[in-house]
Structure 1
Amino acid sequence: MTLLLKEIRSNPILWLLVFVPIVFVAAKLWPEAHTLLFVLSILAIVPLATLLSSATESVATKTGDAVGGLLNATLGNLTELIIALAALKAGEYTLVKASVAGAIVANSLFMLGASFLLGGLKYHTQEFNRHGARLQTCLLFLATIAIMTPSAIVDAESPQTAFTQQLSVGLSVLLIGTYALGLLFSLWTHREVFAGAAHHEAGEATWPTGLALAVLAGVTVLVALTSEVFVESVQEAAKTFGMTPAFVGFIVVALVGGAAEMASAFAGARKDRLDLSVGIALGSAAQIALFVAPVLVLLSYVIGPTPMDLRFWPGAVIMVFIATITAFLMTSTGRSAWFVGVFVLMVYLVFAMTLYLMPPATL
């Protein structure tokens, strides 16, 4: 606990943690003050993301970057999952699907590209384990096929609901099973292939494992709760500014929901720990595609007003496919530089600009 307090005192960004209780109080007292809640939630998420980054680095130092990246991606994706569950319960399937597709694209393009750029500005070139990146991009490609299949086979004018729902349930089970086997392959049977290089610097202070895990769990819950307040305020603000739920889910929710893991990925890149950064970015994207999205389909039969399927609007499918191919090509060599990051970010900005200027009407 002393190390945690010392970290908070020494980092001015963490002083913004005072806004965490403030945003919850404001949400209770002024639930209609959407602009105020929007600003307060941003001010609360930033220090929480920074704190989560520090805790993840401590865990990764002891477990290795491969496990550390997986742990951060898992806890970071809880935010997206909780937000999606709230929208799922309300029957806002447009927002759910947009946030899922947006999170996949944001992690595999924005987070990966920004990590390459930030690390490349400090180091001439950086290296990472290309085998781990290849596995994650292959898993992403499989998930893209699973999303494309019901979207391509089922005619838009004749949705064939029963067939689509049965196919979506079957594909969800296959994706979850594949993701579990992928974890077994990378963390157990062939873990030596995916092990990252050790980057623990001499004199670098790390937290005890118990403290780091406790902070990871606690902060993740707070980020999820704060993000939910943020999403509720953004949805109302979107009506005023003329933004559709698709744009809000695909861009805004994806970036804010992934703030915690992005902070860890960016910090790892600046410390020349690109294995951690790539593991978080691609691991998070693969986890959303192969685990979070299928789980949401299955849970829709329990908590949703109607079952949800894996049909995405054509634009989302194309963007996820292009993001997967881009990530595969940019990580195939196991080396990066700052311009590689610029290239990947430009692809993401093309998508963001397209959705902002001409958002899809439906999903």
Structure 2
Amino acid sequence: MVNKIFTIAAFIGVPLSIIGSLLHWSSILMFVIYCLTIISLSSFMGRATESLAIVAGPRIGGLLNATFGNAVELIIAIFALREGLTEVVLASLTGSVLGNLLLVAGLSFFIGGLKYKRQQFNVYDARHNSGLLIFAVIVAFVIPEVFTMNMNAEKTLSLSIGIAIILIVLYLAALFFKLVTHRGVYQVEKNGEHGHAHEETPEWSVKKSITILAIATLAVAYVSENLVHTFEVVAESFGWSELFIGIIIVAIVGNAAEHASAVVMAYKNKMDIAVEIAIGSTLQIAMFVAPLLVLVSLLFPSGMSLVFTLPELISMVTAVLLMVSISNDGETNWFEGATLLAAYAIMGIGFYLL
């Protein structure tokens, strides 16, 4: 039923997006249409990557889901950079970290915990990811903030470029570690998950899934370019700051595919995939997407430095420490999910009132 609704929304939303942009409809109306269209297209991306996950396994499946889910946000961010909206881009990166660690993981743990009293996932992956989270957010984002206090804009950008290159190299090394050199080394058998995983059949074939992913990504690219042009009018109309639009609105719309897929996986007790989507997506944002945007920004008149505001930094550090504390034992329940959701709600209220 839900899939049918998203399918109808996509087939209606894409033509409306094209017609509305050509006829210059109200920016507020188009903002709503663009957001709903991107969310509906993201559902296709989520279903396609879920089909690929069944064939490829939880690690690669979770990585694919996170990658194509983040592709939406990456596309939106590149168009925003072209328009000089660097604050919106930085805020959307913050929103992705908070959204994945607190909202996506929180919903997954909560919904899954309502069905199962105790859910388990690979504790070795959790501990490995915890170290990377601390490095990516605290070391790579917070430490540079200290050094840039006495730097001019040129030196700050140079530092950001250096950090971006290091982050990308380490992220690629982390993938090589998990998928090649140490693939299958740290495996944990859990009751109730591996026993029936082989019986599940994918919704779509590999060829059809890849085709749908490609078409949906192209459609999202077109809609996202137009969405960016509505930000200023919407912000003025509703009294929202660029910070709030980036952290809450863009992050939720851009990560819609991951939100849905992670919750569905948790409800099916496939916590390895759910956790890989939530935490793996965060690592990809912090260690690959954000650095890549720094390098891409060099193609535009105003370069983007990895310098966040104090509320953004404190929020990201808090989210990382909370997730590390909750996930390091390799199991979760609905109350831990509620804790993550409560933290996200508190931060959302704070950013709205800024």
Q: Same fold (TM over 0.5)?
A: yes
How far apart are 1:224 and its partner, in Å? 3.9
Query: 2:297 — aligned with what?
Result: 300
3-state SS of the aligned residue for 1:166? helix
Which amino acid in structure 1 is aligned with residue 161 of structure 2?
Answer: V
Query: 2:254 — aligned with what?
Result: 257
Which amino acid in structure 2 is aligned with residue 350 of structure 1?
Answer: I
Query: 1:4 — aligned with what?
Result: none
Aligned-residue CA RMSD (Å): 2.1
Asked whether the 8 Å contact 2:75–2:221 carries over to 1, the reply is yes
3-state SS of the aligned residue for 2:207? helix
Q: Which of 148, 151, 161 does residue 169 from structure 1 map onto?
A: 161
Query: 1:69 — aligned with what?
Result: 62
**Alignment pair present for 1:124 and 2:124:** no
Asked whether the 8 Å contact 2:10–2:41 carries over to 1, the reply is yes
3-state SS of the aligned residue for 1:309? coil
Q: Which of 43, 50, 53 does residue 36 from structure 2 map onto?
A: 43
3-state SS of the aligned residue for 1:290? helix
Q: Which of 324, 327, 331 does residue 328 from structure 1 map onto?
A: 324
Query: 2:306 — aligned with what?
Result: 310
Which amino acid in structure 2 is aligned with residue 348 of structure 1?
Answer: Y
The whole-number CA distance in structure 1 between the counterparts of 2:76 and 2:260 is 19
How far apart are 1:203 and its partner, in Å? 6.1
Query: 1:148 — aligned with what?
Result: 142
The whole-number CA distance in structure 1 between the counterparts of 2:76 and 2:185 is 35
Q: Which of 166, 170, 176 does residue 184 from structure 1 map onto?
A: 176
How far apart are 1:284 and its partner, in Å? 0.8
The whole-number CA distance in structure 2 between the counterparts of 1:23 and 1:191 is 46
- CA distance 1:45–1:121, shift in 2 (3 Å): farther
Asked whether the 8 Å contact 2:112–2:266 carries over to 1, the reply is yes
Query: 2:9 — aligned with what?
Result: 16
Query: 2:340 — aligned with what?
Result: 344
How far apart are 1:101 and its partner, in Å? 1.3
The whole-number CA distance in structure 1 between the counterparts of 2:32 and 2:22 is 16
Asked whether the 8 Å contact 1:52–1:264 carries over to 2, the reply is no
Query: Which range is displaced more, 17-26 or 167-176?
Result: 17-26
Deviation per residue, 1:183-227 (Å, 9 max, x gap): 000111111145676453646453211111222232233234334
The whole-number CA distance in structure 2 between the counterparts of 1:206 and 1:194 is 29
- CA distance 1:251–1:62, shift in 2 (3 Å): same
Query: 2:206 — aligned with what?
Result: 209
- CA distance 1:194–1:356, shift in 2 (3 Å): farther
How far apart are 1:16 and its partner, in Å? 2.1
Q: Which of 83, 88, 93 does residue 86 from structure 2 map onto?
A: 93
Q: Which of 37, 47, 50 does residue 54 from structure 1 map onto?
A: 47
- CA distance 1:170–1:42, shift in 2 (3 Å): closer
- CA distance 1:50–1:154, shift in 2 (3 Å): closer
Which amino acid in structure 2 is aligned with residue 121 of structure 1?
Answer: L
The whole-number CA distance in structure 2 between the counterparts of 1:228 and 1:271 is 35
Asked whether the 8 Å contact 1:35–1:233 carries over to 2, the reply is yes
How far apart are 1:280 and its partner, in Å? 0.7
How far apart are 1:328 and its partner, in Å? 0.9
Asked whether the 8 Å contact 1:49–1:263 carries over to 2, the reply is no
The whole-number CA distance in structure 2 between the counterparts of 1:205 and 1:75 is 18
State percent identity of aligned pairs. 36
Deviation per residue, 1:228-271 (Å, 9 max, x gap): 43443344211111111111001110011000121111111111
Asked whether the 8 Å contact 1:27–1:229 carries over to 2, the reply is no
Which amino acid in structure 2 is aligned with residue 315 of structure 1?
Answer: P
Asked whether the 8 Å contact 2:14–2:219 carries over to 1, the reply is no
How far apart are 1:293 and its partner, in Å? 0.8
- CA distance 1:203–1:278, shift in 2 (3 Å): closer
Which amino acid in structure 2 is aligned with residue 148 of structure 1?
Answer: V
Query: 2:21 — aligned with what?
Result: 28
The whole-number CA distance in structure 1 between the counterparts of 2:229 and 2:335 is 36
Query: Which range is displaced more, 256-265 or 233-242?
Result: 233-242
3-state SS of the aligned residue for 1:272? coil
In structure 1, the gaps of 5 or more residues are 1-6, 359-363
In structure 2, the gaps of 5 or more residues are none
The whole-number CA distance in structure 2 between the counterparts of 1:12 and 1:226 is 19
How far apart are 1:53 and its partner, in Å? 2.3
The whole-number CA distance in structure 1 between the counterparts of 2:22 and 2:155 is 46
- CA distance 1:27–1:138, shift in 2 (3 Å): farther
3-state SS of the aligned residue for 1:11? helix
- CA distance 1:251–1:12, shift in 2 (3 Å): closer
Asked whether the 8 Å contact 1:107–1:281 carries over to 2, the reply is yes
* TM score, norm. by length of structure 1: 0.89
